[in-house]
Amino acid sequence: MRRRDFLKVAGGAAVGVSAPIYLRTAWAQGPIKIGMPAALSGSNAQYGIQARRAAELFARDIKAKGILGRPVEFIYEDTGGDPATAVRKAQKLVEKDGVKFLTGVVLSSEALAVSAKCPEWKVVFMSTINGAGALTAKAFHRYFFRVNTSGPMGARAVSLYLAESPMKRFFALGSDYAWGRDSVGSFTTQITAAKKEVVGTDFPPVGTKDFASYIAKIRQSRADGVYLVLPGQDATIYLKQAHQFGLNREVKPIMEILELENMKAVGDAMVGAIGSSRYPFTVDTPKNRDFVKRFHDLHGIYPDMFDGETYEGLEWLAQVIGKAGTDDVEKVIDAWEDSSYEGLEGPFFMRKCDHQAVQPGFAVECVKDPKYPHPIPRILATYPGEKVTPKCRTEEFS
């Protein structure tokens, strides 16, 4: 037998013998556990359910080969949208179930509370929903990663689009809490820098069920568009009532978040509204079309923003763990920093300085399409990541 053949045979035999050992070792290490303390009940349940839907699809997709040959296990817990419960559940996931990765947290208040504990627990917190700018600025720490578009990035995308549009006068209506205030502030800064005018602002309390007075004020202000930063249900109510007052024809609704949840509840009354979407399912790439099809096959509906962003986060996390060769948290963090990922929406890059994923921003419009049972987001403009992502560890743009 010649030496080359001998080596081939020897190599083949060695692989053949060691393969079972590799698998046995992998099995002995157990599954890779991802904990999801999501709001599955209460008034924000629809967002937690989106995170879970995405995880269910991902679990199915990854089942065949797992990560590093190990199966992936998702453990869901219901936080009810309450920060105290969120921390309790997260602690249980870390201490009892031994998860090393936490994701699927819905509210920014929950995220701030849980994330603050992660350096102590030494687990990775992956945000796929939380938009609060502070998470990658004031409250940043090494164990936090944000895969999703943040609130400031959404406001930025909207402002970039409006800078080019003929609209000149804007009214800003934000709910009276952290997100509402911050986003209106961010928008005001950027739109005035684009030489446009904010003719009025108002901050209705969270849970407002009658916007009639605000609608009257907006109409009086003779604005071209109204920038809306209202949580899901409040936005639904506003859009319905503005439609009933005939306001939407006069003053264009512009939303930092234009999501399917609103479109399904409000229906045709919001056709024509524009805004930013963190993940519009109408992105026309082969990878995304395939994802949408698989999602629809499994769940019977079309993916909304957090369905898509959570799936992207999980896929990227899996890739990064594979690259690190281990689920050891410190090594995964090192592997994730400055890494790239081809997502459903386009290219992503994880900045080392503040762990914010630089990604494309979208300006979308709500349109009717007979192929779908509800209005859908049509992409008006796509902005490259560098243009929509704020400067490192800040909420400002250059």
Q: Which helix (H) or strand (E) holds 252?
A: strand 252-255
CB 191 within 8 A of CB 170: yes
Q: What is the DSSP string of 173-229?
A: EE-SSHHHHHHHHHHHHHHHHTT-EEEEEE-PPTT----HHHHHHHHHHT-SEEEEE
d(CA 358, CA 60): 27
| Shortest Å, Cβ 266 to another protein | 6
CB atoms < 10 A from the CB of 385, how many? Answer: 20
233 binds another protein (CB under 8 A): yes
| 296 interacts with another protein by CB under 8 A | no
Is 91 a binding residue for another protein by CB under 8 A? The answer is yes
Residue spans of alpha helices (H) in the chain: 3-29, 45-62, 83-95, 108-121, 151-164, 178-193, 212-221, 232-244, 247-250, 260-266, 286-299, 305-324, 329-336, 385-388
**Nearer to another protein among residue 123 and residue 162 (C-beta):** 123
Q: Least separation, in Å, of the C-beta of 153 and another protein? A: 18
What string marks each residue from 47 to 76 as x (binds another protein by CB under 8 A) or -?
--x---------------------------
Residues 261 to 280: which contact another protein by CB under 8 A?
261, 264-267
Cβ distance to another protein smaller for residue 77 or 365: 77
Indicate the residue among 70 and 240 with the shorter CB distance to another protein. 240
C-alpha 214/C-alpha 324 separation (Å) is 53
Q: Pick one of 26, 31, 43, 289: the residue that binds another protein (CB under 8 A).
A: 43
3-class secondary-structure state, position 73 = strand
Smallest distance, another protein to C-beta of residue 244, A: 4
Pairwise CA distance, residues 191 & 200, whole Å: 13
CB of 78 to another protein, least distance (A): 5
Residue type, 372: Y
Sole binder of another protein in the list 164, 197, 210, 396 (CB under 8 A):
210
Token code pair at residue 300: 């019977």
Q: For the CB of residue 143, give the shortest distance to another protein in the complex, in Å.
A: 13
Beta carbons of 153 and 390 less than 8 angstroms apart: yes
Kindly determine how many residues on this chain lie close enough to bind another protein according to the rule CB under 8 A.
64
Least Cβ distance, residue 133 to another protein (angstroms): 11
Quick one: 109 or 159, whose CB is closer to another protein?
109
Asked if residue 181 binds another protein (CB under 8 A), the reply is: yes
> What is the smallest separation between the CB atom of 232 and another protein, expressed in angstroms?
8
Q: How far is the CB of 109 from another protein (least distance, A)?
A: 5
Contact 81, 110 (CB under 8 A): yes
Closest CA to 388 of 153, 161, 191: 153
Specify the 3-state DSSP secondary structure of 75. Answer: strand
Q: Which member of 54, 55, 102, 112 binds another protein (CB under 8 A)? A: 112
373 sits near another protein (criterion: CB under 8 A): no
List residues binding another protein (CB under 8 A): 40-43, 45-46, 49, 77-78, 80, 82-84, 87-88, 91-92, 94-96, 108-109, 112-113, 115-117, 120, 132, 134, 139, 176-179, 181, 202-210, 212-214, 216-217, 220, 233, 236-237, 240-241, 244-246, 261, 264-267
